[in-house]
């Protein structure tokens, strides 16, 4: 079975988990076009996605995936007919980011949060891919070296710093947390 490997910031991951909304789809973005993943998702309906959380301690290697979710949707920036249409679709999905900043640092002022969300909006506007996940959970860490890339059958290196790869799901790994 295939899965997607990606990265995301610990703040957003922990906030989404804190919501306890098992069936709710949360959208994130990537600067890379996930064309092959979209084809696989269209055929599978739902795919596992393994996520390495980005933290300040990223110098600790080998990297490991610490979260898993269901990938349930992929949209591309060029699927919107205008930038306005894309912006209108993005804005409601950014509310979770606004809430995550307040969750992560209750001392932040509304102005600081608005500034960070404005930066996020620019990232979303410039993104190639929007991906929707649900049922996010923390898992026992899976070292990247246990993942095998679907493209060439090679193991992912322990310091792999790209934000996306299609891998074979590591069925032999105990994910219980």
Task: Report the alpha-carbon distance of residue 77 to residue 15 in Å, rounded.
Answer: 25
Model confidence at 172, in pLDDT bands (50, 70, 90)?
Answer: low
Residue 56 is predicted with a pLDDT of 63
Residue 93 is predicted with a pLDDT of 81
Q: How far is CA 177 from CA 31, 54, 66, 137, in A?
A: 31, 20, 10, 9
Range 88-92 average pLDDT: 86
Q: So where are the chain's domains?
A: 2-168
Task: Return the CATH fold of 2-168.
Answer: ph1033 like fold (3.10.590)
Share of the chain above pLDDT 70, in %: 89
Residue 70 is predicted with a pLDDT of 96
Range 100-105 average pLDDT: 72
Range 11-22 average pLDDT: 82
What would the pLDDT profile of 153-162 be if each residue is shown by its tens digit?
999 988 887 7
Cβ neighbors of 14 (< 8 A, separation 6 or more) are 103, 104
Range 18-23 average pLDDT: 77
Among 29, 58, 26, 54, which Cα is nearest to 119's? 29
């Amino acid at each position: 079975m295939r899965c997607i490997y990606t990265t995301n910031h610990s703040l957003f991951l922990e906030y989404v988990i804190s919501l306890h909304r098992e069936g709710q789809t949360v959208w994130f973005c990537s600067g890379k076009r996930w064309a092959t993943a979209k084809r696989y998702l269209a055929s599978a309906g739902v795919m596992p996605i393994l996520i390495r959380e980005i933290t300040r301690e990223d110098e600790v290697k080998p990297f490991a995936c610490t979260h898993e979710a269901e990938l349930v949707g992929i949209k591309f920036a060029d699927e919107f007919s205008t930038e306005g249409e894309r912006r209108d679709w993005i804005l409601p999905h950014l509310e979770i980011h606004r809430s995550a900043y307040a969750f992560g640092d209750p001392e932040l002022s509304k102005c600081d949060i608005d500034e960070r969300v404005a930066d996020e909006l620019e990232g979303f506007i410039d993104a190639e891919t929007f991906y929707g996940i649900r049922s996010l959970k923390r898992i026992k860490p899976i070292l990247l070296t246990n993942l095998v890339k679907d493209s060439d059958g090679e193991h992912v290196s322990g310091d792999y710093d790209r934000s996306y790869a299609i891998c074979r799901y590591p069925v032999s790994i105990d994910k219980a947390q």
